[in-house]
Chain A
Amino acid sequence: MRFGVVTFPGSNCDYDALMVVRDQLHHDAEFVWHKNSDLSAVDCVILPGGFSYGDYLRTGAIARYSPVMKSVIRFANEGGLVIGICNGFQVLLESGLLPGAMLRNRKLRFVCKQVYLRCETSDSPFSNQIRVGDVLKIPIAHTDGNYYWNEDGVGDHEDNKQVIFRYCDARGSITDESNPNGSINNIAGICNKTRNVFGMMPHPERASEELLGSADGLRVFQSIVAFAKAGVAV
């Protein structure tokens, strides 16, 4: 399959995502320039991490107006697979493709470290190769990763099993201590109601080779490929 990795000015994890698809997944990947709006050759859009437009106004707030985002929204509404990682997740929130908002981390600082995630559902294009309860080691690197939505909204997420990953400890327990940024209900990654748009703050592309400390993140990408292979429409 063919992945399209969007490059906004200020994206800095675009290359890393591209390399994982090509070198670890052995599938096709190409950059999609932010001024470009053609996604016709793409099977899955990756909105990568980084600091789009410097994140000077609010994370993801300017990128949302980028020409390519009109196409991404259309692509998603037509059922296309979209994964936003870190800044990409923030862009998805700002563009309304995913509900909720990012607050500043509760310690008010950038934090980069390995964290643990518990898989909450295998029923998604992004987690079908991961069992419920599996613990993945995947790093985070952000200042604004404190996911928030109001009570009703979060309730809906939980009812619809839209929460795919939660921060946990090494043994899979969901604790406040293992929550690195203060996210409500320890939420690390959510999908939309139709399950074809997914955002996560941790960086699976940084955890796709044992040499770099973990290959757990590769399972997210493998899930996407497995889903596409099965040819199941969302």
Chain B
Amino acid sequence: MAEPKITPQLVADHGLMPDEYEKIKKILGREPSFTELGIFSVMWSEHCSYKNSISLIKTLPRSGKALLTEAGEENAGAVDLGNDLAVVFKIESHNHPSAVEPYQGAATGVGGILRDVFCMGARPIAALNSLRFGQLSEARSRYLFNGAVRGIGDYGNSFGVPTVGGEVYFEDCYYANPLINAMAVGICRKDRMASATAKGAGNPVFIVGSSTGRDGIHGATFASEEISSKSESKRPSVQIGDPFTEKLLLEATLEIIKEDLIVGVQDMGAAGLTCCSSEMSAKGNSGIEINLDLVPVREENMSAYEIMLSESQERMLVVGKKGSEDLIRAIFNKWDLNCIEIGQVTDGKNMVVTMGGKVVADIPSECLVLGGGAPVYTREQKRPAYLDEAQGHDFSKLPQPKDYSAVLQRLIGSHNIASKRWVFEQYDSMVRTNTVVGPGSDAAVLRIRHSDKGIAVSTDCNARYCYLNPRLGGQIAVAESARNVACSGARPVAITNCLNFGNPYKPEMYYMFAECIKGMGEACRVFDTPVTGGNVSFYNEDPERAVYPTPTIGMLGIIDDLNHITTNNFKDSGDLIFLAGSTKNELGGSEYLKVEHNLVTGNAPELDMVFEKQLQSFILEAIRNGLVKSSHDISEGGLAVALAESCFADREKAVGATVSVKSDLRKDALYFGESQSRVILSIAPERKGSLIQLAASMNVPVAEIGVVGGSALKINDDIKAEVKILADAFFDTIGNVMALGAQTPTRLTSQS
């Protein structure tokens, strides 16, 4: 088959800048072939090369004594759990595919992150996801939401990983471009961690798992441009998931690692065979030769270009130890999977690809990869003008509500606050029988079987705060996720992050990106939670608008004693309610402001990171001393919503509370403001003295604000609501909206 001639237009169509093309010619010392052009285009795409982000990402703290790998070194980060065990975890986006095909987009997002974890030798024990859509009043948003949830559920449920937590937000800015961030957590023996490397000349290279088809070609390039009405035509760029094959691939992969038959293994994700071959050989400081005639394909007449760029799912590239070929094949054969030797490691430096007896690509691997020859840019930054206006917003003229009970009722039923039960009941949250605290709490908690330890995991990001104050918003995202795991009884140890932003070539957007990273880095240093890896997703915008800067944090915490696991619901009548931390006159970016006044403005809430750390230490110490019966972080909706959630979090055992808080703040800020570094605790009355003493010794302000009991939540003389009615609104709202339906694709039109 004749390959197309390389023209400037063809180069531009591949998303390569003219100077990038010149660089390619210089590397090769000649014009690239069509296949080589395709290879450079995907490897140098934003998605694979991180060319516009890596210089800033490198400013994040990426090492620490608990880390077993440095960020970016392997497919996922690894943390030392003790007991010779490692926790492997990572979060990744699948935004663009999900915008045009939500079911497969979300499903393959889950599949991809699971492979990243199990190709390290770790068995996935938990999945989480962070999702963002437009308002549910829009049929398109319901269609995307429904499709994504089904996709995540069908994939994870069949694969057999419990989906234990996550978050879902609805905001206009995600109407065209939803965010689908999937996180996976796995566990393995420290001495059985696999590496994504190719070394040792003569070692065999296998392609294993599914056959290669034409699906997903240029998925990485598609992920590196904005969403538009033309994006519909990119539906063939979306991969198709097969969780059954993934489950078999998991078992076979773990077996070859356990039997010590391999040198390295890497998941074929974005840029498929191209990415694996070049990254593994570059990492191993070796060359690699592959023969495409041997690759099992599922369609006829596939070209070299197509095979190299296919993003067909459920495939891995395995570098075996010479002499282990038959044993490796036997394991994949047992699981009824392809395992075809397609090449070998060489002592050269190049990735050499042949087909039909001809060399179709011959490129130095190092020149293709991140950290090697891939371009690195620092873009122009400009502070957006709206920031000063928003941060200076004067709330003094904002009218106060007349009926605070009614406001509470509306906030509880707002889609951002209401229970995501409709979502997580469609996910198997219990398979593998480790889930101690499942979805719907501050953080999910899993026990580590045959040990007295557990882990707590949470995903978090309040994107409104980032939109209003990117640096502070970045700090708060880390602080809140740490607070969530601390409230569950876990020490925060490390994070993974998924940075969802708009077009980096727009200086305002790049400023927001840089500021968010600055804030996250500052917070990670204070909380001693290094970044173990993650991903960057740019171009999350359509011609109308960009998404809010959304740096999603996936936090891992370790529970040293399972007796310390703490949940957020009030337990017994007569227990005392304490507020730890201080409330300020803050309304900026709050859900209250959006729901009651339709405003997204003001400054993000203040954050004193040193105090935040102290507060979390106090919560953990109080839990360890057996003082705490429930612990709940105050976030969206403020104090009143947090109290209500503690009343009905366990719906069957819902209980009321009578609360009295004295304050000279604005009442709406007191009840619904989102001041940071606050936690609601409930304790048995006889623990009161010990709690107050501990708080005083740690310089954390605590106030006794009420008592658990009755059937209503009463706060001062302003709020009185039957808990059952609040609970019905909380648990049923989203299911009721989704009953409106949106089962058919709702296309993105150029909406007004």
Contact = CB atoms under 8 A, between A and B. Distances in A.
B425 A111 contact: yes
Nearest to A112: B428
A20 B434 CA distance: 12
Given A9-B244, A9-B248, A212-B436, A141 B154 contact: no
A219 interface: no
A192 interface: no
Interface residues of A, number: 31
A53 B244 contact: yes
Interface string B638-674: 0000000000000010000000000000000000000
A209 B153 CA distance: 25
Contact of A10 (B150, B153, B244, B426): B244
A13 interface: yes
A25 B243 CA distance: 32
Interface string B452-475: 000000000000000000000000
A126 interface: no
B428 A110 contact: yes
A212 B430 contact: yes
B154 A110 contact: yes
B247 A10 contact: yes
A60 interface: no
A62 to B, nearest CB: 10
A16 B432 contact: yes
A200 to B, nearest CB: 16
Interface footprint category on B: 20 to 34
Nearest to B437: A213
A234 B335 CA distance: 37
Given A9-B336, A19-B449, A110-B153, A54 B158 contact: yes
A109 B248 contact: no
Interface in A1-39: 9-10, 12-13, 15-16, 19-20
Contacts of B431: 12-13, 16, 49, 141, 206
B714 interface: no
B157 interface: yes
A206 B425 contact: no
B208 to A, nearest CB: 15
A55 B434 CA distance: 24
Contacts of B433: 16, 19-20, 205-206, 208-209, 212
B251 to A, nearest CB: 9
A54 B335 CA distance: 13
A112 B439 CA distance: 11
B159 interface: yes
Interface string B219-254: 000000000000000000000001111011000000
A53, A112, A206 interface centre (most CB from chain B within 10 Å): A112
B247 A109 contact: no
Interface string B171-205: 00000000000000000000000000000000000
A15 to B, nearest CB: 7
Contacts of B562: 211
Interface string A47-64: 001110111100000000
Given A141-B428, A170-B652, 18 more contacts: A13-B160, A19-B433, A19-B449, A20-B433, A49-B431, A54-B158, A54-B242, A54-B243, A110-B426, A112-B157, A112-B424, A113-B425, A141-B430, A208-B433, A211-B562, A212-B430, A212-B435, A213-B436
Interface of B: 150, 153-154, 157-160, 242-245, 247-248, 335-336, 424-436, 447, 449, 562, 652
8 contacts: A16-B432, A51-B160, A54-B245, A109-B150, A110-B428, A112-B427, A141-B157, A212-B436
Interface of A: 9-10, 12-13, 15-16, 19-20, 49-51, 53-56, 109-113, 139, 141, 170, 203, 205-206, 208-209, 211-213
